[in-house]
Structure 1
């Protein structure tokens, strides 16, 4: 699976001319959306199946600044998948090959009414698609 590419937009920068820290979290969501579509489980398919997946934890380690027009390559990997929890890692690298951010996110899986989903039991195809990519 290839990385997701994001070009830093002018509106994503602050008065200092660097990318505002909150945008990295948005980019993580863009990369996650791209990743799920690549493995055949885009968000709309998950939602049609009755699954929602809230973020339960985030961690960003900002290594280097990025600025307008930088090309950020985001590589996503599956750290762990359990019956009702998914842990992902993100590495964001600029066009010069410098790591600008390393991050992780955790997600639970719920039914739209709020009840927990057991992916392994209720959605084995999705569970196996994630499990196959686990580090």
Structure 2
């Protein structure tokens, strides 16, 4: 699944290059869009009493972007066994060149902050994410 972000002028620095911190924001945008595309948007998760904090993020910058580039972001489920969700991101410019690769890891907690046993407590979400794990 792909998400497209158009670099905004305010996301660039004095040299006209996208500031590095924005790539992590774009990963979040792509993750939210990805979950929505598979039928599990954040509003639905929150209504179900699920919160999903970020446990870790990595970002490996390959080439810069500038205003008004289009950045195409693909999101893949790298690992999910019911406790932690590990996602991989690849960002490409409009010419198909890789500009950034990243990862993020997330937990699923209830409103009290305790881990959810996804397979037992939320089997539909467990199946949806498990079915998308890529090798």
Q: Which range, TM-score by smaller chain?
A: over 0.9
Which runs of structure 2 are paired with 1:70-109 in the superposition (5 Å)?
70-109=69-108
Cα offset, 1:11, TM superposition: 0.3
What is the DSSP-based 3-state SS (H/G/I as helix, E as strand, rest coil) of the residue aligned with 1:18? Answer: coil
CA RMSD of aligned residues (A): 0.6
Distance 1:20 1:33 in 2: 21
Distance 2:117 2:8 in 1: 39
Residue of structure 2 in register with 1:127 after alignment:
126
Distance 1:47 1:74 in 2: 25
Cα offset, 1:10, TM superposition: 0.2
Distance 2:107 2:19 in 1: 27
Residue of structure 1 in register with 2:31 after alignment:
32
Which runs of structure 2 are paired with 1:14-29 in the superposition (5 Å)?
14-29=13-28
Is residue 83–residue 121 contact of structure 1 (8 Å, CA) maintained in 2?
Answer: no
What is the DSSP-based 3-state SS (H/G/I as helix, E as strand, rest coil) of the residue aligned with 1:89? Answer: strand
Cα offset, 1:112, TM superposition: 1.3
5+ unaligned residues in a row in structure 1: which ranges?
Answer: none
Q: 1:66-93 deviations in whole A, cap 9, x for unaligned?
A: 0000000000000000221000000000
Residue of structure 2 in register with 1:117 after alignment:
116
Q: How many residues align?
A: 134
TM-score, normalised to structure 1's length? 0.97
Runs of 4+ in structure 1 deviating by more than 2 angstroms, as ranges, are none
Residue of structure 2 in register with 1:49 after alignment:
48
Distance 2:43 2:131 in 1: 22
5+ unaligned residues in a row in structure 2: which ranges?
Answer: none
TM-score, normalised to structure 2's length? 0.97
Alignment of 1:11 with 2:49, yes or no, is: no
Distance 1:118 1:5 in 2: 33
